[in-house]
């Protein structure tokens, strides 16, 4: 990322100030400074409410037809389009929401979870930097009368003498090439060994090359998501990620969710088709990773991958039929190491594919990978790991035990089931605050474009702000007595107008309905109930949680305070909440760098108890209790309820 010039922005009256990059809009600067500015068009410059006066310094743009020449000369600008060009002093005007004698409405700072990633130096220090497939260069003594061991024994002896590598399995394929390869470069060879999971088992010799190639050892990590397949190209000598990228899972053309895809796979030739689609997506991702670097396919010695149980079944050509049928029995939760070519991954004949094991039909290898990659399995602290997507996967535990479950949260966090919900794209309302008195909103959109809808993180902020400001009651209903034209009865009940048609990018009013809010509450309720049910099953409660690990794309955008306010996350100190990004991918990368992961994962999956929430009788009660903001039992959210109580007074 290019490093831009920074400027200071001071907001008057008062001395609230913030440092921003050149070109930042004033509305974003205000938001960063914790100040609310009425701005319902989302930055399109059409609602004309966000008027401010630039008293010192220079801004570019921000001029509106609605302003008189005098106003413009006096420095009046639209905060939503005016861009900082130097250090500036900006005065808020009453149209922008300034109250007499006040500094303005404050907007709390967003708290996102601190990014956590693992440290290669740490792996090395702990002595667990040990890729599952490694290369060894050997200079073998020439055979003579005193030493006429077989070629095979000669290689095995050298591995033992030079590298203390014992218990090697040489398959027929290697033996068939052995004589020739040894003599091609005068008994100088590079051996590729795939380590076993079990320490006492034998390493497999997977390749043999004439000459020294030990300095070229690369790996690929692949997260097979239902929607997106992400990959990383890894230098296994240094641990460095050399390239990263993703592509939509081509199976999407046959359904967005796993159930639809399983149904498709059950049709004639459906399984083969679904396998071809996912594998061709993987091949495309790998192709792109390689294009960026001069790495040959046969220099990739292993691929570590993880996906949910259905995705892994489809990739491995295992019949997924019973994953969708009660009692939800997958073919296997363990996946043997295979050659890439066995499943159509186009790398080289010698590349090993290592897939993360699953726990059950609905707690897949992606979650196991996250537990491993985030090091949750090694912590003493009672931890909640949560990966929020269409399905939220939840793991609770520590290094001694782990309980896990999947909740069907539905697509609300991705904008699904929300009247004006949308994916996080230009025009999506991603940041929000509300004037507690006028109930005028500040909508900030992605790309500063006219508002088109609400993305998941925006939805969370809106509902939390509505709840905190008593626009919504605990059941998620609008208070009927609100003094604003924005609340109205629409076709499907009460709704709140966020953006008027003429200010919007879609020429329709953008509203949030009670039905939308209900859908959101069901989604967050399913997750929270999953958390409390799991805790209850192991005799604990949310008060016992010591840390929370968020994973998944949604996790990076979540405002923690809002998530706690609505009761999506339990009330945990935000500094004990961390974000790991794509936990599955992280676990795969970890697996490429440390064979200890594969050893440990065997223990971990044995420690990991999967719960079918639909089979736990108390889950339904927990769910119903969670269909409130933040929860029926206010004592679970003392701070949230305290704030609301104070507001009431």
Which is closer to its own copies, CB of 161 or CB of 502?
161
On whether the CB atoms of residues 435 and 468 are closer than 8 A, the answer is: no
Q: Binding string, 170-189, against its own copies, x = CB under 8 A?
A: xxx--xx-xxx---------
Residue 459 binds to its own copies (criterion: CB under 8 A): no
Query: Which part of the chain contacts its own copies (CB under 8 A), choosing from 21-29, 282-290, 328-336, 641-649?
Result: 328-336
- Residue with Cβ nearer its own copies (69 or 176): 176
The total of other beta-carbon atoms located within 10 Å of residue 102's CB is: 12
Of the candidate spans 325-333, 394-402, 516-524, 543-551, the one that interacts with its own copies by CB under 8 A turns out to be 325-333
* Sign of CA pseudo-dihedral 427, 428, 431, 436: positive
Q: How far is the CB of 274 from its own copies (least distance, A)?
A: 14
Near its own copies by CB under 8 A: residue from 332, 378, 508, 624 = 332
CB 144 → its own copies: shortest distance, Å? 5
Q: Examine residue 317 and tell whether it contacts its own copies (CB under 8 A).
A: yes
Residues binding its own copies: number (CB under 8 A): 48
Peptide bond into 13 cis (omega under 30): yes
Backbone angles phi, psi at 451, to 5 degrees: -65, 135
| Binding flag, residue 165, its own copies (CB under 8 A) | no
Query: Per CB under 8 A, does 164 bind its own copies?
Result: no
Verify binding: residue 543, its own copies, rule CB under 8 A: no
> Is position 316 an interface residue for its own copies (rule: CB under 8 A)?
yes
Q: Minimal CA–CA distance to 106: which of 209, 182, 19, 30?
A: 30
Q: What mask of x and - would describe binding to its own copies in positions 607 to 636, judged by CB under 8 A?
A: -----x--x---------------------
* Position 319 contacts its own copies (CB under 8 A): yes
**Residue 346 CB, nearest approach to its own copies (Å):** 17
Q: Which of residues 337-356 bind its own copies (CB under 8 A)?
A: 338, 342-343
Question: Which string of x and - marks every residue 118-157 that binds its own copies (by CB under 8 A)?
Answer: -------------------------xxx-xxxxxxxx---
346-369 residues labelled b (16+ CB within 10 A) or e (exposed): ebbebbbbbbbbbbbbbbbbbbbb
Burial (Cβ within 10 Å: 0-12, 13-18, ≥19) of residue 20: buried
Residue 275: how many other CB atoms lie within 10 Å: 20
Beta carbons of 535 and 542 less than 8 angstroms apart: yes
- Judged by beta carbon, residue 1 or residue 172, the one nearer its own copies is 172
Nearer to its own copies, 316 or 527 (CB): 316
CB 33 within 8 A of CB 17: yes
User: Binding mask 354-383 vs its own copies (x if CB under 8 A, - otherwise)?
Assistant: ------xx----------------------
Nearest to 566 by CA among 625, 532, 526, 521: 521
Instruction: Provide the 8-state DSSP code for 176.
Output: H
Within 552-649, residue ranges assigned H as helices are: 560-565, 583-593, 595-607, 617-625, 638-648
**Which among 387, 403, 234 has a CA at the least distance from the CA of 305?**
234
Which residue among 13, 211, 336, 447 contacts its own copies (CB under 8 A)? 336
* Shortest separation between residue 491's beta carbon and its own copies, angstroms: 42
* Closer to its own copies by Cβ: residue 148 or 635: 148
Instruction: By CB under 8 A, name the one of 110, 169, 250, 449 that touches its own copies.
Output: 169
| Residues 6 or more apart whose Cβ sits within 8 Å of residue 424 | 430, 446, 455, 456, 457, 557
Q: Whose Cβ is closer to its own copies: residue 279's or residue 549's? A: 279
CA–CA dist 5, 20 (Å, integer): 8
Ramachandran class of 552: left when φ > 0, alpha when ψ lies in -120 to 50, beta otherwise: left
Name the one range near its own copies by CB under 8 A: 71-79, 251-259, 336-344, 447-455.
336-344
In whole angstroms, give the CA distance from residue 466 to residue 483: 14
Residues that bind its own copies (CB under 8 A): 143-145, 147-154, 169-172, 175-176, 178-180, 198, 200-202, 316-319, 321-322, 326-336, 338, 342-343, 360-361, 612, 615
């Amino acid at each position: 990322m290019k490093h831009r010039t920074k400027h200071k922005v001071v907001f008057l009256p008062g001395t609230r100030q913030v440092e921003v990059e050149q070109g930042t809009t004033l509305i974003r600067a205000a938001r960063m400074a914790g100040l609310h500015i009425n701005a319902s068009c989302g930055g399109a410059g059409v609602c004309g409410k966000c008027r401010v006066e630039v008293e010192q310094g220079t801004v570019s743009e921000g001029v509106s037809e609605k302003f008189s020449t005098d106003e413009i000369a006096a420095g009046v600008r639209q905060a939503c389009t005016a861009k900082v060009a130097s250090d500036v002093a900006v005065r808020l005007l009453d149209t922008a929401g300034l109250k007499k004698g006040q500094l303005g409405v404050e907007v709390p700072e967003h708290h996102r979870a601190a990014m956590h990633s693992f440290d290669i130096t740490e792996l090395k220090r702990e002595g667990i930097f040990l890729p599952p497939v490694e290369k060894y260069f050997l200079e073998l003594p020439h055979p003579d009368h005193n030493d006429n061991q077989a070629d095979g024994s000669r290689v095995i002896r050298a591995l033992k003498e030079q590298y203390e590598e014992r218990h090697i399995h040489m398959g027929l394929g290697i033996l068939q090439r052995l004589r020739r390869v040894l003599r091609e470069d005068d008994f100088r060879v590079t051996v590729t060994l795939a380590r076993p999971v079990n320490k006492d088992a034998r390493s497999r010799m997977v390749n043999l090359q004439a000459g020294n190639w030990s300095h070229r050892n690369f790996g690929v990590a692949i997260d097979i998501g239902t929607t997106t397949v992400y990959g990383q190209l890894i230098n296994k000598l240094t641990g460095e990620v050399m390239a990263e990228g993703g592509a939509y899972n081509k199976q999407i053309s046959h359904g967005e969710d796993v159930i639809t895809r399983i149904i498709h796979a059950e049709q004639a030739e459906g399984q083969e088709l679904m396998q071809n689609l996912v594998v061709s997506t993987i091949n495309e991702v790998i192709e792109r990773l390689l294009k960026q670097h001069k790495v040959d396919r046969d220099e990739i010695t292993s691929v570590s991958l993880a996906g949910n149980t259905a995705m892994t079944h489809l990739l491995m050509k295992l019949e997924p039929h019973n994953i969708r049928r009660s009692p939800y029995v997958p073919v296997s939760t363990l996946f043997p190491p295979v050659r890439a070519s066995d499943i159509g991954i186009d790398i080289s004949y010698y590349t090993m594919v290592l897939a993360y094991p699953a726990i059950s039909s609905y707690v897949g290898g992606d979650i196991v990978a996250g537990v491993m990659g985030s090091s949750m399995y090694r912590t003493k602290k009672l931890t909640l790991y949560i990966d929020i997507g269409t399905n939220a996967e939840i793991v609770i535990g520590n290094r001694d035990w782990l309980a896990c479950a999947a909740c069907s949260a539905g697509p609300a966090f991705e904008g699904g089931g929300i009247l004006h919900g949308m994916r996080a794209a230009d025009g999506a309302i991603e940041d929000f605050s509300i004037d507690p008195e006028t109930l005028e909103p500040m909508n900030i959109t992605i790309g500063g474009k006219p508002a088109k809808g609400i993305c998941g993180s925006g939805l969370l902020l809106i509902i939390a702000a509505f709840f905190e400001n008593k626009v919504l009651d605990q059941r998620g209903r609008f208070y009927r007595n609100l003094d604003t034209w924005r609340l109205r009865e629409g076709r499907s009940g009460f709704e709140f107008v966020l953006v008027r048609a003429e200010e919007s990018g879609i020429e329709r009013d953008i509203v949030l309905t009670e039905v939308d809010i209900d859908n959101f509450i069901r989604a967050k309720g399913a997750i929270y109930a999953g958390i409390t049910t799991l805790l209850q099953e192991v005799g604990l409660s949310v008060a016992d949680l010591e840390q929370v690990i968020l994973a998944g794309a949604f996790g990076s955008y979540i405002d923690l305070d809002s998530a706690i306010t609505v009761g999506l996350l339990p009330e945990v100190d935000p500094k004990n909440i961390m974000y790991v990004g794509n936990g599955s991918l992280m676990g795969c990368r970890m697996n490429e760098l440390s064979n200890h992961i594969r050893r440990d994962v065997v223990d971990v999956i044995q420690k990991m108890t999967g719960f079918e929430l639909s089979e736990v009788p108390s889950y339904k009660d927990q769910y119903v209790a969670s269909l409130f903001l933040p929860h029926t039992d206010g004592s679970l959210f003392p701070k949230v309820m305290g704030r609301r109580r104070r507001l009431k007074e």
